[in-house]
Amino acid sequence: GVQSIPILEAYLVFGFSCVALLILFFMLRFMYELRMYAVYKRIECDKEKARNYYFYSFVGTIIYGHGRLQNVNKLSAKLVSLLSDAAFLGICEKFILILVCNPANDHDASYLALDEEETLCWTGKHQHYAAVCLLLIGYYIPLSAMIAPMFDEVPGQDDEEAKATDEDDCGKQDSTSTSKLKRFLSLENCVDFVRPFISAVTVAKCFMLIS
């Protein structure tokens, strides 16, 4: 059952999957915005619209650093926030545990603490796993520190949804329960509560980048 699963491989696969999802989102978003920029500029021949789209796009927000990202749906924002903010410390913990070794008492060798000192550190498979782990850390920490603040809140969408909800409530009494359910599932009321945690995670990212 669960005990037969190699814990070292499980931690590595988990961390690799999370980093791969974040990098995949970055790549797909980059290609999508390049395509839309080309459509506005070359096909529609609207240079002003193309310029504004690029300025507030994912790539433009990173380059210009204005922090006013637009044209992103809430599902993407929540996915990126989950991978780069909420689960940041947990993912980093899995990577660090792959690298933690305890020295042996009788000789100079060291053993992996993760699997109760069954794996000899820095030899065999652990040498390869540790190299992959360090490479993933090198991608994950800078990437999450760079793009996570942009997807923390999607500007404009909350106001539009609130306005639409008010209009529906004024027009139809039956939509009250539906709007309350949508507000409950959106978890928007938790934003103010988790901001101190997100701030602490951002500080941790900065220290990990310079250390």
CA dihedral sign, ordered 115, 140, 195, 206: positive
| Cα–Cα dist 137/162, whole Å | 39
For residue 150 the two structure tokens come to 């942009």
Measured in degrees and rounded to the nearest 5, phi and psi for residue 123 equal -140, 155
- Given pLDDT bands bounded at 50, 70 and 90, which one contains residue 94? very high
Identity of the amino acid at 202 = T
Three-state secondary-structure class, residue 112 = strand
pTM of the model: 0.71
Model confidence pLDDT, tens digit, residues 101-125? 988 877 778 889 888 878 889 888 9
Three-state secondary-structure class, residue 103 = strand
Measured in degrees and rounded to the nearest 5, phi and psi for residue 103 equal -70, 145
- Given pLDDT bands bounded at 50, 70 and 90, which one contains residue 74? confident
Task: Kindly give, in sequence order, each residue whose CB lies less than 8 Å from that of residue 48, ignoring residues fewer than 6 positions away.
Answer: none
Would you state the torsion angle of the CA atoms of residues 118, 122, 124, 126, taken in this order, to the nearest 10 degrees? 60
Max distance between CA atoms of the chain, in angstroms, equals: 79
Task: Kindly give, in sequence order, each residue whose CB lies less than 8 Å from that of residue 120, ignoring residues fewer than 6 positions away.
Answer: 109, 110, 111, 112, 126
Rounded to an integer, the average pLDDT of 62-70 is 74
| Cα–Cα dist 151/132, whole Å | 27
| Cα–Cα dist 137/101, whole Å | 18
- Mean of the per-residue pLDDT values of the chain: 77
- Residue 18 near residue 91 (C-beta atoms within 8 A): yes
- Given pLDDT bands bounded at 50, 70 and 90, which one contains residue 155? very low
Alpha carbon 209 to chain centroid, angstroms: 16
Mean pLDDT comparison of 58-67, 69-78, 80-89, highest-scoring range: 80-89
